[in-house]
Structure 1
Amino acid sequence: MNRTLAPTLLALLGLAAATPALAQGDFRSCLSSLRAQAAAKGISGQAFDRATGGIEPDLKILELMDNQPEFKTPIWDYLAALVDDERVQDGRAAMRQWGQALAAAEARFGVDRHVIAGVWGVESNFGKDIGGRPLVQSLATLACYAPRRREYFTGELMATLKIVQDGDIDPANLRGSWAGAFGHTQFMPSTFQRLAVDGDGDGHRDIMMSVPDAVASTANFLKKAGWVNGLPWGYEVRLPAGFDARLAGRRNKKPLSAWAAMGVTHVDGRPLSGNYPAGILIPAGVQGPAFVVTKNFDAVYSYNAAESYGLAIALLGDRLKGLPGIRTAWPTDDPPLSRAQRRELQRLLAARGYDVGEPDGKIGAKTREAIKDVERQIGLEQRGRPGAKVLQALRG
């Protein structure tokens, strides 16, 4: 969702902001057109009106779409925030509370419950960060005012209206991200239509209010994406000296015996065993942690099409099983911070007079600007990165 809006659209948005009545008029005309499209797809006028009655365009969404952060997060920072001790503890508590639902999803679809929980934890922090924007309003705004992806967002809006018509989820509960992802495991509406299932047996597919529905639907997604029961997603390995980085890559799979013949071992030195194909991931280059990854990692990757994301889910699932985290050091002299450490950093910045908002561990624009000032003071490149050196300087 990070495409830049055309300058002409930005100009129109400025006009719309200055003349709300005009924006409303355009929106009403657009809704009328969308109503006709919905009817052609079998969505009744009653369902359309029920879902869209009284909504107004949320032009803030277009600002969010246009102003995606340019900061590139190093892989070690990304994983440190998503797979920390706090999330592991929360995940174990969630797995205890919903153990029966997770076990049922695992038995029904043959997907490891810890990986299902890993998706749940990464996507919504086990239901704590589901998102609060009304889905129909968000998608209608994007369908009407985001021309570069109008067809895509119109399709997602139609899928949402089908959810309303089918009665799976109360429209009042259909809230999520500005881009339309919703529920405990953040399905897009079209994904919901294809893959959501009833996990609690009440006859509805409600990934907003029913954890059993959410975890079963996620298991179904992973199964359809190619998850193989009993196959590991992968694990950390040790590369031999002089390993050719050009051999790495999720798609460049070879039999484990081939990697073993090159000198690749488990991270503790044990020889590789098994007869399945696997690739090698080196997310920070040959000097950082390396991982053997199988077809099951590809299934997790398909959830969001990012290797860093797939690693976060897989590693969180491992931690929830009681396995250790990454053992090889990242190639940096400025270690990453957990969410608890990020909150401490924000509190220390606030104590020094910086306006960083609520110390929530989420590094937004205000926190980055404050960090840049501290980086300048201690002689670091001004990147706005929340690292150990900045935290240590603030503690001092």
Structure 2
Amino acid sequence: MKQNIFEIEKTSESKARAGVITTDHGSIQTPIFMPVGTVASVKTVHQRELKDDINADIILGNTYHLYLRPGMDTMTKAGGLHRFMNWDRPILTDSGGYQVFSLASSRKMTEEGVKFKSHIDGSYHFISPEKSMEIQRQIGADIFMAFDECTPYPCEYNQAKTSMELTHRWLKRCIEWCRENPELYGHQQHLFPIVQGSTYSDLRKISAEVIAESDAAGNAIGGLSVGEPEEEMYRITDVVTDILPKEKPRYLMGVGTPWNILESIGLGIDMMDCVMPTRNARNAMLFTWNGVMNMKNEKWKQDFSPLDESGTSFVDYEYSKAYVRHLFVAKEYLAKQIASIHNLAFYLDLVRVAREHIVAGDFYQWKDSVLPGLRQRL
């Protein structure tokens, strides 16, 4: 497997760095936030808007959901996810492990894999490490994840240790399957293993060392942002990034708020994803450089100023706060679309500006100066 997909362009005075990930579908400037397109769609947002207005270098697809619907027969006949959804930039898929973890009441886990019940029709399915690899091969993502078990928070030490060791055994099976089965659609796929170990530093160190030894194209940190305090997430991230290879991209899965993102970049993270910007947008919460706005609040009823004077998307200037509030109160679908475009554009602007300050050499001073404003409620 080709491994040299990452080039570091600039390192800061500590861990933050600016780089470029190169795939067959294009380059990704890091640090990067990746919009989540669970079922071949970033909710309420057109692919054209993702490219032209949000300027997303890469998006995510979800292995569990795509496997169930539309199914792999449709996916392979379409020629993979890129062609199916008409997206010519990079795609990353998760392994399905987190979704299986979330189905705790309707799954059975063994050494071989996981039997689970579909949330759609109640039918039973089985995913093993090999099956996860097969599905992700059929989806055709540029970056795909090893099958892992994600533990809950809180988690007893012995449970976390047993789960971590299972994840490591599953990783070996994932790597072996990939060696024996070539790509399907004429572009190279890059496997990322996942560090586990809950909030236990010694387990995380062991897991990071095992993952580093696999010499994959990049590495991910899973099992965080599952309910633990932010300080715990930062502490574990700091421990793991001390061990993971500096020359490989580091992906912190499922994170998070704008302040989580900046703090994580400061700890050496290159890639992040989260449903928060679109999920919160659909519930009328907008993130801005000046703070967080609830667009249903009465205070915006006759505020005819632009949605966000500091915004980078067309929606920020074409629509007023009063108008967007009206759409939410009237329960118009357009409200969710405008809010989703805004939030995603803001998240992408956030990491682009962070990158500029890493290159300029003043990232940490800048981060500390903007964090209070990002957190405040307007």
**TM-score surpassing 0.5?**
no
Larger RCO: Structure 1 or Structure 2 (Cα < 8 Å, ≥ 6 residues apart)? 2
| Bigger helix share | 1
| Bigger strand share | 2
**Band the TM-score falls in, shorter-chain normalisation:** under 0.3
The TM-score, its normalising length taken from structure 1, stands at 0.24
Q: Which of these two proteins has the greater Rg computed from alpha carbons?
A: 1
